[in-house]
Structure 1
Amino acid sequence: MTRLVLLAGWGCDARLWQPLAGHWPVGLDVSTPDWPGYGGRPALADPADLDSLADAMADDLPPDAVWVGWSLGGLLATALLDYLPAPHALVLLGMGERFCHDEGIPGAELAAFRHAFTRDPDATLSHFRRWQLQGEPDPRAAHRQLRALLGNGDNESVGTDRATLAAGLTQLAELDNAERLARSPCPVWRIAGEQDPLLAPALRYSADHRLVDAGHGPMLSQPASLTACLADIARVTVP
């Protein structure tokens, strides 16, 4: 049976993937592990240490699977290619070689966001969740759906370790996977929502698969299209 491992991004735990549950075709074994520090999973002593992250995720990221990393999850999954046996394929959803891009999210904008996080983590996380959904057909509905899934009420960071969130913002600012992707030990596929506000236009247009009527959160707005796309990738990459 073909295995898919879905990895969420900054500020969201594995419940993010629940809208896909009713759309998977027969023959796929789908797992949605949380990163350390998310969903009640114990945080790492040093959330920025990739070696420790690899040790913690080794059982969740087997080589006989397709790893699917969304947003920061894609950055981290790519970085872990240096530490873990390579999967059948790596899928980057809403992510390129790096997060910051002059035509997408400039470094100065992320720096301001990181500064805001040090002052008020909950408000900053809430703002980010709204902001990343602006490319969906109905951003308000997508945000309501996300809040219902994560169940955080008024405290946006419940279930998420704040040191892990801070380290994740640093990783968004500093991780550059250009060299890793250039020498990737496995096939790499890129999926982008056609209206993703976090991706530079060139990255959206050059993606292997572009999802119509979707932004940065296609698991919320286009779950059927996303699952079909992932199933197709698994079908052509898994022996």
Structure 2
Amino acid sequence: MTQLILLSGWGCDARLWQTLDDHWPQGLTVEAPNWPGYGTRKALADPASLDGLADAMADALPRDAIWVGWSLGGLLAGALLDHLPPPRALVLLGMGERFCHPEGVSEADLATFRDAFRRNPEATRSHFLRWQLGGEPSPRSTHRRLRALLGDAVPASSATLAAGLEQLATLDNTSRLATASCPVHRLVGARDPLLAPNVLAHADRRIEDAGHCPLLSQPRQLATLLSSIAARPGATP
């Protein structure tokens, strides 16, 4: 069975994936490396540089593994297809070809959020963590679970978080994914409040009773889907 590499999204470090620990089948190898600047990993000199990101993540993203990127992690993993040898498969969780969409989070919405982040990074990140949980069956209990995993301390520097917002605003993987030399699987929470209806409708798999964070609200269902992809990484999504 192929190795899974789990990649976190904006404002959250790799501890978030611990929710899936009890649901993996025996024999599956799973790694959850932090992005540069998160946890104890040193930040990049230029946190927005994809070349620098590729150099820093090369050892953590082997070509014989399946890369699973959640939210911004999916956007970055897709962008790295131009910089690293392609994986066995790429799984995008809660992310389309790009983040902004006129029927989802618009460019104006994200610009307003980036302005708020510049004024008060910590409060804005806290607001975002609550906002992204809006589609979960129980947002309050899911938020308590999130805080229990991550605590209250911000897991990355303001410069790293600001660069992530810039990447959410500017990265567009449409052409990369259309010509990707590996299978691309698209998974979404059926009630994801950050994704446009068209993105939800064209996903390969929709996780019922979940929003943007199925790894918190539906860990068993998500682990089952990822395990099935790991068992047949080249299968048609």
Range into which the TM-score falls when normalised by the shorter chain: over 0.9
Q: Deviations over 1:104-153 (max 9, x none)?
A: 1010000000000000000000000000000000001111110110012x
CA-CA distance at 1:27 after TM superposition: 2.4
Mapping 1:195-206, distance limit 5 Å: 195-206=191-202
Mapping 1:1-239, distance limit 5 Å: 1-152=1-152, 155=153, 157=154, 159-237=155-233
Q: Per the alignment, in what secondary structure is the counterpart of residue 29 of structure 2?
A: strand
Distance in 1 (CA, whole Å) between partners of 2:232 and 2:103 is 32
Q: Per the alignment, in what secondary structure is the counterpart of residue 28 of structure 1?
A: coil
Kindly indicate whether the alpha-carbon contact (under 8 Å) linking 2:183 and 2:234 is maintained by their aligned counterparts in 1.
no
Distance in 2 (CA, whole Å) between partners of 1:221 and 1:237 is 25
Distance in 1 (CA, whole Å) between partners of 2:144 and 2:196 is 26
Q: Per the alignment, in what secondary structure is the counterpart of residue 232 of structure 2?
A: helix
Kindly indicate whether the alpha-carbon contact (under 8 Å) linking 2:132 and 2:213 is maintained by their aligned counterparts in 1.
yes
TM-score, normalised to structure 1, is 0.97
Distance in 2 (CA, whole Å) between partners of 1:171 and 1:238 is 28
- Name the amino acid aligned to 1:208: D
Kindly indicate whether the alpha-carbon contact (under 8 Å) linking 2:66 and 2:87 is maintained by their aligned counterparts in 1.
yes
Distance in 1 (CA, whole Å) between partners of 2:200 and 2:28 is 27
Distance in 1 (CA, whole Å) between partners of 2:161 and 2:216 is 22
Q: Provide runs of 4+ in structure 1 moved above 4 Å.
A: none
- Name the amino acid aligned to 2:9: G
Kindly indicate whether the alpha-carbon contact (under 8 Å) linking 1:2 and 1:27 is maintained by their aligned counterparts in 2.
no
Distance in 1 (CA, whole Å) between partners of 2:230 and 2:31 is 14
Kindly indicate whether the alpha-carbon contact (under 8 Å) linking 1:97 and 1:177 is maintained by their aligned counterparts in 2.
yes
The answer for unaligned runs of 5 or more in structure 1 is: none
Distance in 2 (CA, whole Å) between partners of 1:39 and 1:146 is 16
Q: Per the alignment, in what secondary structure is the counterpart of residue 203 of structure 1?
A: helix
TM-score, normalised to structure 2, is 0.97
Q: Per the alignment, in what secondary structure is the counterpart of residue 100 of structure 2?
A: coil
